[in-house]
């Protein structure tokens, strides 16, 4: 046999051994079992370490079993190897592995003393394990057969039965599972005045069961056949384990006799008591022809038919008699449902007779027997009429309602129902449960049980057994029974009248309360359900199966109780939906209170703010609530999720409000608490929005007192942003003051100040998005505006560093007309001459703005505007990610973009304007300041032929090369265009306002045209310069003026005369020039006619040249 089979057989042996020991210790084979120190029940004892031989010896002797001695005997036996009882005495067993212990000893072992094996299942305890085939054969063994080959006679199953037959012992049932305490859940029934105990009820219930069975002729006194049946059942029990599933099997083979025997075992009634009761009931029927056994007044008949000698001792008899007398008193007198009427005096007499019967046991034998016999006769004459009072038997079919107070009846019936559970496993029903319940129906006439009472009692028994064992299957079976309880409309008229008469007064909270039958049984169940469902987060923390069943129990019981008179009379009882909402509200409050307590306990050990930690733990609570509990609750309350979420929102809001009211700055605590609170609120709103049915989401959302985290957080963020923007402006001023306008490097030809500005801006943006607090688009707009303003300030500083154009461009000389005379004082009309005296700026300050400096400034501004787009895109991308991360769907991205469209347009516009101004300034400074002497002052002096424009091409080319070396490629054409415009402006200045030293003739017009072409081609530079179209557009205005020099003086004068009238109408003359241009052409015309015209018409003085 391989190792695997050996292990399997060993495990089977150990399991069978434990089952055998458990049965023997839990039954009545042993009078008393003394637990070892530290053990409370058999569950605390390791049965593998208990000696079977020791236990069976104690059972055979009928003595007390001390488990500590049995454990010691087991360990003592393990000190020596197991010896077989057959074969040579020279055989021995090694206690070690021979392969690992070396060679065998050379000398023979010492002779072992002859040890007589324990004659009780010795081979089962120390030899081969008991397999299933052997187990099946065991019931067939007879008394003369033993379980092994030993010649000694061993204990058999029949011997075990003999122990029960010989002596009556108090039965103890030891649980094989850890049982719960259910003492707080008890029936709302009055206590018994006579002090009837549970054992009294159990024994009386069994007597009633026998009487009910006797009514159908199934009551016989057991004989030897009963022992064989007991033996078979014992071995069947030994083959079952606690983990076996209950399989309902028909007991038809046993019949009523076998079923009654099963009930005896289940109800822990000794065989002697069973036989004694059966004989007494049969004796009571002698001489009562035509009378059924279930019509007897059972306690009275047992008192009359059972003598003192049938019990083992006087003490047992007195106890038995006391129980019967108490039953008569409780059943007939103490709790009457039907009034006594004229028989009221008989009730008092009955109490006296019961006391005399009890007193007779203390009298001498002869006197006591006589008094007892007389009292029993009188008792019969009084008790029978009381038991046959009318007005109740008609409703339930009762023939003899000797147990008049209904709560005694149901307590007796409860004891019958309790017996349906497996004796080896209290969490399972017995195999014969269906047959038992059918048998119990025979007692309904005696106890006044109806279908409603049966289902109610059975549901209560199952429910309480669930509380004791924690077995979920028992609870579900109880729910099935609760569902079978008919509603008021489903009951027959007789049953409704009967149930209406069943009531009792129970002391509750220092006052007496009258309860109906259903209230007595169902109120404890409802109280249990309400207590646990009012804090289901605590009581059902492990799973939802039990929670679902508890909700079902609560709803079924509520429906049944609402039909009771007191509850039905209430003005507005709670509906199922309202009850579920009450459970949710109560449990959420309790759970949240525990979360708050836990956070307060552990907040000191973490760096996180308590409110932030509370929000996180609340979200966990909410997640568990929505995944475990509310899926069950929404079956009865469609909006249970919304109720739960709304309450959580309110509870957390109460804790959060003081913090929000005191928040003034964006502190670390605010950064920690605000995101957690906002996340919780958003999740709560999502739950309400997506779980509500029937369009109720808006109703619940409107009731929420929103935290307004975004508003509060936005205010704090705005304060922070404003402080950061002020810091940025300070850095802008500081960076600009330290700027020397030298390129950062050969590749980066911009100034260092703009790099510093972008660094501080990006650092601020990073800090902004590092704030994990809720924000609105307004905070982002504020940030954009602040950054936009910073770049505008920077651009303004650049422009402010430029000199005024008026300081660079020389003053326009006074207009004079051509004359050969000298010394004439110039006189110019106010409207034709500008007498402005310019502010003279020091040449040194203007010279600081070199071409190189201006180019670096242009490069710097271009860098600013090019990086601005990247900065804007980066901010928008991070903002979009933040909104998606926060899960805020209040606005779409397109809506946000439209609300702050073209965020940096202000700075873009200012920078572009600044670039244009600096390009214009660069060209103007080059022509009117750097080249003033050669261009403005020297060109065309003293005549055009003597000073042509070609002499200026070389210095212009040098300036242009310097510009192109420094300026970046995107700005090249704009700077060169500025130089072209300045050059043309300078040329016009020379031609029109050249002063008295410049005169032109008709011949000079052609030379001027040639010079203009030279200048144009210089800037076009064979296609390497400015686009020809751009240059042509710029040159066109100068060409128009040069053409005027080619007209005759007469044509110019005529056009000037006509132009004055035309200009009043908004037009020009036929030559296309305005009045001022024509006057200036005539002023510089070397012609007497022109001079005379200007003198006469405009009083322009002669030139001093």
Q: What is the pLDDT of residue 162?
A: 44
**Three-class SS state of 1084:** coil
Predicted confidence at residue 753, as pLDDT, reads 93
Which helix H or strand E contains 401, and what residues bound it? none
Question: Cβ(936)–Cβ(957) under 8 Å?
Answer: no
pLDDT, residue 274, reads 92
Say if residues 699 and 642 touch (Cβ distance below 8 Å): no
Structural tokens at position 560: 């049944």
Task: For 1011-1041, write each residue's pLDDT tens digit.
Answer: 999 999 999 988 888 999 999 999 999 999 9
The residue among 107, 20, 4 whose CA lies nearest residue 55 is: 20
- What per-residue confidence (pLDDT) applies to 102? 56
Q: According to the model, what pLDDT value does residue 357 have? A: 85
Alpha-carbon gap, residue 109 to 80, rounded angstroms? 14
Rounded to the nearest angstrom, the gap between the alpha carbon of residue 1050 and the centroid of all alpha carbons in its chain is: 100
Buried b (16+ CB within 10 A) or exposed e, 877-911: eebeebbeebeeeeeeeeebbeeeeebbebbbebb
CB 903 within 8 A of CB 956: no
Whether the Cβ atoms of residue 923 and residue 986 lie closer than 8 Å to each other: no
How far apart CA 460 and CA 416 sit, in angstroms, is 13
DSSP labels for 948-1006?
-GGGGHHHHHHHHHHHHHHS-HHHHHHHHHHHHHHHHHHHHHHHHS--TT--B-TTHHH
Residue 572: the pLDDT is 64
360-to-268, 376, 695 alpha-carbon distances in Å = 30, 11, 80
What's the rounded Cα separation, in Å, for the pair 327 and 630?
A: 50
In 3D, which of 338, 113, 141 has the Cα closest to residue 235?
A: 141
Number of separate helices (H) and strands (E) present in the chain: 47, 4
What is the 8-class DSSP label of residue 605? G
What are the phi and psi torsion angles at 817 (to 5°)?
-105, 160
What residues pair up with 34 in beta bridges, in sequence order? 66
**Residues 6 or more apart in contact with residue 650 via CB below 8 angstroms:** 704, 705
Q: What is the pLDDT of residue 908?
A: 92
DSSP code at position 1101: P
Beta bridge partners of 515: 504
- Alpha-carbon distance of 717 to 720, in angstroms, equals 5
Q: How far apart are CA 549 and CA 479, in angstroms?
A: 8
Residues of the chain falling short of pLDDT 50: 1, 38, 82-89, 93, 95, 100, 113-174, 224, 227-228, 231-232, 234-235, 237-253, 391-397, 568-569, 822-841, 889-897, 900
Print the SS3 string covering 334-374: HCCCCCCHHHHHHHHHHHHHHHHHHHHHHCCHHHHHHHHHH
């Amino acid at each position: 046999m391989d190792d695997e089979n050996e292990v399997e057989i060993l495990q089977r042996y150990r399991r069978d051994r434990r089952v055998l020991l458990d049965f023997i210790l839990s039954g009545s084979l042993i009078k008393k079992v003394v637990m070892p120190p530290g053990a409370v029940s058999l569950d605390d004892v390791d049965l593998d370490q208990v000696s079977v031989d020791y236990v069976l010896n104690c059972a055979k002797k009928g003595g007390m079993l001390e488990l500590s001695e049995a454990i010691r005997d087991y360990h003592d036996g393990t000190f020596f190897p197991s010896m077989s009882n057959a074969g040579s005495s020279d055989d021995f067993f090694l206690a070690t592995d021979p392969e690992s212990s070396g060679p065998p000893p050379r000398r023979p072992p010492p002779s072992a003393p002859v040890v007589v094996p324990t004659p009780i299942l010795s081979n089962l305890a120390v030899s081969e394990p008991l397999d299933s085939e052997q187990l099946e054969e065991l019931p067939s063994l007879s008394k003369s057969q033993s379980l092994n080959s030993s010649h000694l006679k061993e204990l058999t199953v029949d011997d075990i039965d003999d122990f029960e037959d010989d002596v009556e012992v108090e039965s103890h049932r030891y649980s094989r599972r850890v049982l719960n305490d259910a003492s707080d859940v008890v029936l709302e029934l009055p206590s018994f005045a006579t002090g009837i105990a549970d054992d009294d009820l159990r024994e009386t219930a069994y007597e009633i069961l026998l009487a009910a069975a006797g009514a159908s002729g199934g009551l016989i006194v057991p004989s030897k056949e009963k022992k064989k049946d007991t033996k078979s059942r014992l071995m069947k029990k030994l083959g079952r384990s606690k983990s076996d599933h209950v399989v309902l099997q028909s007991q038809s083979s046993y019949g009523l006799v076998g079923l009654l025997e099963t009930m005896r075992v289940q109800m822990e009634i000794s065989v002697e008591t069973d036989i004694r009761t059966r004989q007494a009931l049969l004796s009571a029927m002698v001489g009562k022809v035509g009378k059924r056994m279930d019509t007897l007044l059972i306690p009275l008949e047992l008192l009359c038919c059972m003598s003192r000698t049938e019990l083992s001792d006087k003490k047992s008899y007195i106890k038995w008699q006391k129980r019967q007398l108490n039953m008569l008193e409780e059943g007939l007198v103490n709790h009457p449902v039907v009034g006594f009427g004229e028989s009221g005096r008989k009730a008092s007499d009955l109490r006296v007779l019961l006391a005399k019967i009890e007193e007779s046991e203390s009298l001498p034998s002869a006197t006591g027997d006589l008094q007892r016999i007389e009292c029993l006769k009188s008792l019969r004459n009084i008790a029978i009429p009381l038991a046959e009072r009318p007005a109740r038997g008609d409703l339930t079919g009762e023939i003899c309602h000797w147990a008049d107070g209904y709560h005694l009846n149901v307590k007796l019936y409860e004891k019958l129902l309790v017996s349906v559970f497996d004796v080896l496993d209290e969490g399972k029903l017995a195999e014969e449960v269906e047959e038992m319940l059918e048998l119990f129906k025979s007692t309904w006439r005696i106890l006044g049980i109806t279908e409603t009472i049966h289902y109610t009692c059975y549901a209560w028994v199952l429910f309480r057994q669930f509380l004791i064992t924690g077995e979920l299957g028992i609870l579900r079976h109880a729910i099935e029974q609760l569902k079978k309880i008919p509603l008021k409309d489903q009951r027959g008229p007789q049953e409704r009248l009967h149930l209406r008469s069943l009531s009792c007064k129970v002391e509750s909270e220092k006052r007496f309360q009258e309860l109906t039958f259903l209230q007595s049984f169902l109120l404890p169940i409802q109280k249990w359900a309400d207590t646990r469902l009012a804090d289901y987060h605590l009581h059902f923390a492990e799973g939802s199966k039990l929670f679902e069943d508890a909700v079902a129990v609560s709803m079924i019981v509520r429906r049944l109780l609402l039909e009771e008179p007191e509850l039905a009379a209430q003005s507005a009882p709670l509906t199922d939906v309202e009850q579920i909402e009450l459970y949710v509200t109560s449990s959420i409050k309790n759970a949240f209170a525990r979360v708050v307590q836990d956070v307060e306990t552990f907040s000191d050990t973490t760096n996180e703010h308590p409110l932030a930690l509370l929000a996180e733990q609340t979200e966990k609570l909410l997640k568990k609530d929505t995944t475990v509990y509310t899926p069950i609750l929404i079956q009865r309350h469609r909006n249970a999720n919304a109720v739960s979420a709304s309450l959580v929102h309110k509870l957390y809001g109460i804790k959060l409000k003081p913090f929000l009211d005191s928040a003034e700055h964006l502190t670390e605590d605010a950064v920690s608490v605000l995101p957690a609170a906002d996340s919780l609120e958003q999740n709560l709103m999502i739950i309400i929005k997506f779980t509500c049915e029937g369009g109720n989401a808006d109703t619940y959302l409107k009731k929420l007192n929103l935290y307004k985290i975004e508003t509060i957080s936005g205010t704090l963020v705005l304060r922070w942003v404003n402080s950061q923007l002020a810091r940025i402006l300070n850095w802008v001023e500081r960076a600009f003051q330290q700027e020397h306008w030298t390129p950062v490097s050969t590749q980066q030809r911009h100034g260092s100040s703009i790099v510093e500005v972008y660094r501080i801006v990006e650092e601020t943006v990073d800090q902004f998005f590092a704030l994990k607090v809720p924000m609105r688009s307004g905070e982002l707009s504020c940030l954009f505006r602040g950054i936009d303003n910073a770049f505008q300030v920077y651009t303004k500083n650049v422009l402010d560093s430029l000199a005024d154009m008026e300081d660079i461009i020389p003053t326009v000389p006074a207009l004079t007309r051509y004359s050969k005379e000298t010394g004439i004082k110039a006189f110019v009309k106010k409207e034709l001459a500008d007498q402005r005296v310019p502010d003279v700026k020091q040449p040194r300050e203007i010279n600081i703005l070199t071409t190189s400096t201006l180019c670096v400034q242009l490069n710097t501004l271009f860098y600013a505007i090019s990086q601005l787009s990247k900065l804007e895109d980066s901010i928008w991308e991070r903002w979009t990610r933040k909104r998606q991360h926060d899960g805020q769907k209040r606005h779409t991205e397109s809506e946000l973009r439209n609300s702050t469209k073209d965020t940096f347009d202000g700075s873009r516009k200012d920078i572009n304007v600044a670039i244009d101004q600096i390009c214009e300034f660069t060209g103007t400074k080059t022509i009117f300041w750097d080249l003033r002497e050669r261009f403005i002052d020297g060109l065309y002096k003293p005549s055009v032929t003597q000073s042509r424009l070609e002499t200026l091409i070389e210095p212009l080319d040098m300036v242009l090369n310097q510009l192109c070396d420094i300026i970046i490629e995107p700005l090249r054409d704009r700077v060169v265009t500025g130089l072209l415009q300045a050059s043309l402006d300078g040329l016009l200045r020379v031609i029109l306002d050249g002063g008295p030293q410049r005169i032109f003739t008709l011949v000079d017009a052609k030379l001027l045209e040639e010079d203009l072409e030279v200048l144009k081609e210089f800037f076009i530079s064979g296609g390497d310069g400015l686009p020809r179209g751009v240059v042509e557009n710029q040159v066109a205005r100068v060409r128009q003026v040069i053409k005027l020099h080619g007209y005759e003086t007469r044509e110019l004068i005529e056009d000037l005369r006509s132009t004055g009238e035309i200009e009043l109408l908004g037009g020009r003359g036929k030559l296309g020039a305005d009045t001022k241009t024509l006057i200036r052409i005539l002023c510089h015309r070397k012609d007497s006619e022109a001079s005379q015209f200007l003198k006469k018409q405009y009083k322009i003085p002669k030139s001093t040249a």
